[in-house]
Amino acid sequence: MDREKIVVIDFGGQYNQLVARRVRECHVYCEIYSYRTDLEQIKAMKPKGIILTGGPNSCYEEGAATCEKELFEIGVPVLGLCYGAQLMMQILGGHVCKAPVREYGKIEVTVDQTSKLFENVSEKTICWMSHNDYIEEKAPGFRVIAHTRDCPTAAAQWDEKGLYAIQFHPEVLHTVEGFKMLHNFVYRICGCVGDWKMDAFVETSIRTLREKVGKGKVLCALSGGVDSSVAAVMLSKAVGGQLTCVFVDHGLLRKNEGDEVEEVFGPSGPYDLNFIRVNAQDRFYSKLKGVEEPENKRKIIGEEFIRVFEEEAKKIGAVDFLVQGTIYPDVVESGLGGESAVIKSHHNVGGLPDYVDFKEIIEPLRELFKDEVRQVGLELGISEKLVNRQPFPGPGLGIRIIGEVTPKKVRMVQEADAIYREEIAKAGLDKTIGQYFAALTNMRSVGVMGDERTYDYAVALRAVNTVDFMTAEIAEIPFEVLSKVMNRIINEVKGINRVFYDITSKPPGTIEFE
Ligand code: GLN
């Protein structure tokens, strides 16, 4: 049986990926497509429902993102959100214009509880609004099913046609009952049964991978991060010893991390695969000697990574498949899926395919969001510690050491970071803070220790909370914890005589330092 699917049509709204994630949280598979996608292509996917996202345009402007009228006539329920709602109304004969009062933020909405969309939703419910335009006049056939003080048509529906338009954003968590509304849409209105479950996904994927690979040889570059680890374990369950994982230790990992990767994936670990660890620390350190500029460091680390991997791959000889840990946001953001303009190079191992003798790439996680990758990891029996690992940049500590990277500085930042993480965990804060780490500044200053003058480096502690990594707020760490960390770092890490706590949010700062 075909997997049921909801299609999200992307009009460039900032929450478009969230819409798809929420639908998947309802156990219904969902994919994002640009509004430019051909209607025939959409129809061919046989979606159970279609959701139109928000977007930055005003739909009455010349050249604004739009869709064909026929989209509303294919007999599949359509839910328009914000821009999507306005566009639906305009195309079907209503009127949209600049609102006399724009709404932004949490707003109380009064809903008609007899609507299928609002079943089990409170009559007065807080929703997230973000609009300058509004539906001045609904299209014929529709009835209004929600309003606010300033917005007479906060939602409208045309029951028989299965068309729903809502001005607010149910996908955003600030819309308190938004998940219920999306749940109602996919189950009560689209009639989905909910066949998107991670255990089933794992089972099917393993079977498909086994069939696809046959007796072939598979090669995987393992970074120790979540995506490549989950991909590797999945392949190992599918084809066991036909899989070889190459782990390049570039000497820029967190303290003990190289050994931890080896413990899990090496011969004494639980998985059936061939594990090759390349200890290339010295090669990376010597290439990085004297290099201070962050982009240069990134480039050198990336290129050297490929060199090392290439040499190993040559020893292994030709393989049939190369595994990559691409995930769904990579697909959407590289312009293949939705409408977001960002083109980013996203592989841990950029450019790799040119250097390795292989026939085909396999990307077992290509359909998954990060939280789904984590769930799959748990389904596969990977430890929670590994599965919930914090994001760690590909160039590793190379970009958490400001300025030149030396083995000595690597050791300093590793030790400081380990102490920091240990104390955060001891204080029970490790589950509540999004991301935290230590970075080594390039600043040296005078201090005094044991009556002796020191002239040493300063370490910066970073701790942020972020929902989507696009913006971040600093996490407040209790002062006792900070001073304990400071004390231990100064006492235990030779070469550091000052500790800073970075209170910069993103923007204007970034989460990482370089
Ligand atoms: N640009 C439209 C407006 O301002 C839609 C906004 C949105 O989709 N969030 O009303």
For residues 440 and 401, is the Cβ–Cβ distance under 8 A? yes
**Residue of the nearest CA to atom 8 in ligand 1?**
54
For residues 194 and 169, is the Cβ–Cβ distance under 8 A? no
- Going from the Cα of 421 to the center of ligand 1, the distance in angstroms, rounded, reads 42
126-155 confidence digits (pLDDT tens): 999 999 999 999 999 999 999 999 999 999
- Going from the Cα of 367 to the center of ligand 1, the distance in angstroms, rounded, reads 28
pLDDT value at 391 more than 50: yes
Q: Which atom of ligand 1 is closest in space to residue 133's alpha carbon?
A: 10
251-302 confidence digits (pLDDT tens): 999 999 999 999 999 999 999 999 999 999 999 999 999 999 999 999 999 9
Q: Is 130 in the pocket of ligand 1 (CB under 6 A)?
A: yes
Whole-number Cα distances in Å, 355 to 179, 250, 324, 349, 351: 46, 19, 14, 11, 8
Banded pLDDT at 220 (limits 50, 70, 90): very high
CB atoms within 10 A of CB 390: 14
Average pLDDT over residues 60-76: 96
Q: Is 169 a catalytic residue?
A: yes
Q: Is 12 in the pocket of ligand 1 (CB under 6 A)?
A: no
**β pairing state of 243-249 and 218-222:** parallel
Q: Which residue among the candidates 27, 31, 131, 169 is catalytic per the annotation?
A: 169
Banded pLDDT at 374 (limits 50, 70, 90): very high
- Going from the Cα of 310 to the center of ligand 1, the distance in angstroms, rounded, reads 49
Q: What is the pLDDT of residue 224?
A: 83
Q: Is 171 a catalytic residue?
A: yes
Quick one: which H or E segment has residue 227?
helix 226-239
- Going from the Cα of 359 to the center of ligand 1, the distance in angstroms, rounded, reads 46
Instruction: Round to whole Å and give the CA distance between 496 and 409.
Output: 10
Q: Is 98 in the pocket of ligand 1 (CB under 6 A)?
A: no
150-177 confidence digits (pLDDT tens): 999 999 999 999 999 999 999 998 899 9
304-315 confidence digits (pLDDT tens): 998 898 899 889
Q: Poorest-confidence range of 20-29, 343-352, 387-396, 417-426?
A: 343-352
pLDDT value at 448 more than 50: yes
Q: Is 379 a catalytic residue?
A: no
Q: What is the model's pTM?
A: 0.82
**Residue of the nearest CA to atom 7 in ligand 1?**
54
Report the side by side order of strands in the sheet with 274-279: 274-279, 243-249, 218-222, 321-323, 360-362
Instruction: Round to whole Å and give the CA distance between 140 and 134.
Output: 16
Q: Which amino acid, 178?
A: G
Q: Which residue among the candidates 30, 82, 127, 245 is catalytic per the annotation?
A: 82
Q: What is the pLDDT of residue 208?
A: 96
- Residue 486, both tokens: 């400071």
**Residue 480 DSSP SS3:** helix
Q: Is 246 in the pocket of ligand 1 (CB under 6 A)?
A: no
The secondary structure of the chain in percent helix, strand, coil, rounded to multiples of 5, reads 35, 25, 40
Task: Pick the more confident residue, 351 or 50.
Answer: 50
Q: What is the pLDDT of residue 335?
A: 57
pLDDT value at 216 more than 60: yes
For residues 458 and 469, is the Cβ–Cβ distance under 8 A? no
Instruction: Round to whole Å and give the CA distance between 243 and 233.
Output: 10
24-57 confidence digits (pLDDT tens): 999 999 999 999 999 999 999 999 999 999 999 9
Q: Which atom of ligand 1 is closest in space to residue 169's alpha carbon?
A: 9
Instruction: Round to whole Å and give the CA distance between 397 and 297.
Output: 11
Q: What is the pLDDT of residue 47?
A: 97
Instruction: Round to whole Å and give the CA distance between 437 and 464.
Output: 9
Is the peptide bond prior to 508 cis by the omega test (within 30 degrees of 0)? yes
Average pLDDT over residues 112-135: 97
Q: Is 328 in the pocket of ligand 1 (CB under 6 A)?
A: no
For residues 252 and 397, is the Cβ–Cβ distance under 8 A? yes
Q: Which atom of ligand 1 is closest in space to residue 81's alpha carbon?
A: 8
pLDDT value at 13 more than 70: yes
Q: Is 326 in the pocket of ligand 1 (CB under 6 A)?
A: no
For residues 325 and 279, is the Cβ–Cβ distance under 8 A? no
Q: Which atom of ligand 1 is closest in space to residue 11's alpha carbon?
A: 8
- Going from the Cα of 497 to the center of ligand 1, the distance in angstroms, rounded, reads 51
**β pairing state of 473-474 and 435-449:** unpaired
Q: What is the pLDDT of residue 355?
A: 66
Q: Work out the end-to-end distance of the chain between its first and last CA atoms, rounded to an integer number of angstroms.
A: 48
What's the mean pLDDT when you consider all of the chain? Answer: 92
From 97, 133, 174, the mutation candidate for ligand 1 (largest count of ligand atoms within 8 A of CB) is 133
- Going from the Cα of 102 to the center of ligand 1, the distance in angstroms, rounded, reads 10
Average pLDDT over residues 242-254: 95
CA angle (25, 505, 491) in 5-degree steps: 105
Q: Which residue among the candidates 4, 31, 171, 423 is catalytic per the annotation?
A: 171
Residues in the chain: 514
Q: Which atom of ligand 1 is closest in space to residue 82's alpha carbon?
A: 8
Q: In 295-318, which positions are buried (b, 16+ CB within 10 angstroms) versus exposed (e)?
A: eebbebbbebbbebbeebbeeeee
Burial (CB count <10 Å: 0-12, 13-18, 19+), residue 226: buried
Q: Which atom of ligand 1 is closest in space to residue 58's alpha carbon?
A: 1
Instruction: Round to whole Å and give the CA distance between 194 and 102.
Output: 37
Quick one: which H or E segment has residue 487?
helix 479-492
Among residues 453, 427, 440, which one has the least CA distance to residue 399?
440
Banded pLDDT at 123 (limits 50, 70, 90): very high
**Residue of the nearest CA to atom 5 in ligand 1?**
83
